[in-house]
Amino acid sequence: MTDSRKPEPDAPIAERVRALEEALDAKGLVPEGFLEKRAEQAQESFDPKNGARVVARAWLDPAFRARLLADGAAASAELGFRAANSEYLVVLENTDAVHNVIVCTQCSCTAWSVIGLPPDWYKSPAYRARVVREPRALLRGMGLDLPEQVAIRVWDTSGETRFMVLPQRPAGTEGWSEERLAGIVTREALIGVARVAGTTS
Amino acid sequence: MSGFGAVEIERNEPVFHERWEARAFALNNLGIRILEAYNVHEYRHAVERMDPSHYLAASYYERWFTGVATLLVEKGVVTRDELEARAGGRFPLARPAAEVKPIRVTPGAQPRFAAGDRVRVRDVHPAGHTRAPRYVRGRRGVVLRASRAFELPDLAGHALAAHLEQTYHVEFEARELWTDAAESRETVVVDLWESYLEPVG
């Protein structure tokens, strides 16, 4: 598709990936088990459940909340969620007046250590184009109907700062444990395309 | 770009849908951290250099993989011929990078802008890599905060010596970005390097 050098179709993507892996392996460039280990790490360490725990702690502990808003990376590291490349993490607090939502219009960056690798919808050209152009309509279409008086702040991850939304704690969760609270915080809420619902209906 | 439709969230989405996606993910880490063949800025630019029709048709991890394969061919780690022979068909790669000249910059000791300063994004259209999104070029915004200093991607993306340069979170009113009927009470915050900005008098 990228040139007209040869008339035959592209090799299937799975074959292309295998071909590169084998070519590197044939040159002795792939350390034993490296690719498996790295893929496993991506699936186990980069998990939105980490961000959910950070949020739950912030809801319960005002001092932690203050530290989180001052230095997101350091506060997350207190819970063991360390960014790979000394990431600069800015946590965005949702209030009754302002709703924050995150995008990366140029690629699809997220704060891996707390949000995980980006989901497909976040990587779609539709999301990346529409959320900066018509956020209120887009969010409504995704099931988040924000009242007109709530301002929307869209954060484009165009540089090296990574962002995470601190959603509002829903009513009806008084007295809940940190674990129970963490259980209702979704990846979509950490990105800002959903609110946290008080019941798991 | 416009003309996109609804954004659908996949319930219980796996981190990787196919085995090759996990391998492609890990191969990039191999290229950057183990082989040290290229840096993350060059990787992002390699994806941007894909043929636009291939870029839009490809899934996220196909774009990811095409960037990795392109750089490993360009850096002489593998050849396209050997990849095509192993894959049994055409192996699309990104287009060559534009020639970008090194620039010597002596960054100021202090950030040039402070929170509350009014700035305009320089309306320039570089042939190479940049992280100033097109939709803010020439537009006026207000500095929310001076963030941290990071390598200038415009140089690092071409494997040129890159200095650390101050970045800023700059807020733009929706009406400044989209001159027609932009939705009200909406802003977009973009993370921008100092040399992308000029003061507004």
Could you report the per-residue pLDDT of B78-123, keeping only the tens digit for each? 999 999 999 999 999 999 999 998 887 777 778 999 999 999 999 9
Facing residue for B190 by CB, picked from A34, A158, A188: A158
> Would residue A109 show up in a list of annotated catalytic residues for this protein?
yes
Query: How high is the pLDDT of residue B156?
Result: 95
Q: Is the pLDDT of residue A107 over 90?
A: no
Both structure tokens of B57: 């048709």
- B162 assigned to some structural domain: yes
Q: Per the CB < 8 Å rule, is B90 touching A11?
A: yes
Q: Please say whether the dihedral angle defined by the alpha carbons of residues A128, A133, A135 and A141, taken in this order, is positive or negative.
A: negative
Q: What is the CATH number of the domain that holds B29?
A: 1.10.472.20
Facing residue for A152 by CB, picked from B169, B186, B192: B186
- Answer yes or no: do B67 and B122 share one domain: no
> Would residue A158 show up in a list of annotated catalytic residues for this protein?
no
Estimate the share of chain A in helix, then strand, then coil, as percent rounded to the nearest 5.
45, 10, 45
Q: Per the CB < 8 Å rule, is B148 touching A160?
A: yes
Distance CA A104, CA A159 (A): 9
**Helices B19-29 and B60-74, packing angle to 10 deg:** 40
Facing residue for A159 by CB, picked from B5, B26, B191: B191
A34 min Cα distance to partner chain B (Å): 8
The amino acid occupying position A47 is D
Q: What residues in B contact A36, CB-CB < 8 Å?
A: 26
pTM for this structure? 0.94
The residues near B72 (Cβ < 8 Å, ≥ 6 apart) are A20, A24, B31, B35, B37, B78
- B62 assigned to some structural domain: yes
Q: How many domains is chain B partitioned into structurally?
A: 2
Q: Per the CB < 8 Å rule, is A18 touching B169?
A: no
- B11 assigned to some structural domain: no
Boundaries of domain holding B144: 118-199
Query: How high is the pLDDT of residue B183?
Result: 66
- B192 assigned to some structural domain: yes
Dihedral in degrees, nearest 10, Cα atoms A62, A116, A82, A70: -40
- B95 assigned to some structural domain: no
Interface TM-score (ipTM) > 0.85: yes
- Is residue B99 left, alpha or beta, with left meaning phi > 0 and alpha meaning psi from -120 to 50? beta
- Answer yes or no: do B72 and B127 share one domain: no
Residue among A193, A169, A171 nearest A55 (CA): A169
Q: Per the CB < 8 Å rule, is B27 touching A20?
A: yes
- Answer yes or no: do B185 and B144 share one domain: yes
> Would residue A107 show up in a list of annotated catalytic residues for this protein?
yes
Given the residues A45, A107, A158, A177, the one annotated as active site: A107
Q: Per the CB < 8 Å rule, is B9 touching A119?
A: yes
- B185 assigned to some structural domain: yes
- Answer yes or no: do B81 and B131 share one domain: no
> Would residue A4 show up in a list of annotated catalytic residues for this protein?
no
The counts of H helices and E strands in chain B are 7, 5
- Domains for chain A: give ranges and CATH numbers: 47-191 (3.90.330.10)
Q: What residues in A contact B95, CB-CB < 8 Å?
A: 2
Q: Which residue has the tokens 């590169």?
A: A20
**Nearest chain B Cα to A7, which residue?**
B90
Convert the pLDDT of each residue in A30-84 to its tens digit.
999 999 999 999 889 999 999 999 999 999 999 999 999 999 999 999 999 987 6
Query: How high is the pLDDT of residue A86?
Result: 59
- B182 assigned to some structural domain: yes
The answer to whether residue B30 neighbours chain A at the CB level (below 8 Å) is yes
- B26 assigned to some structural domain: yes
Q: Is the pLDDT of residue B198 over 60?
A: yes
Convert the pLDDT of each residue in A139-180 to its tens digit.
999 999 999 999 999 999 999 999 999 999 999 999 999 999
Query: How high is the pLDDT of residue A18?
Result: 98
**Nearest chain A Cα to B173, which residue?**
A153
Residue among B115, B118, B134 nearest B172 (CA): B118
- Answer yes or no: do B125 and B194 share one domain: yes
CA distances in angstroms from A69 to A63, B4, B136, B149, listed in the order given = 10, 34, 27, 20
Average pLDDT over chain A, rounded to an integer? 93
Query: How high is the pLDDT of residue A201?
Result: 45
Distance CA A94, CA A100 (A): 6
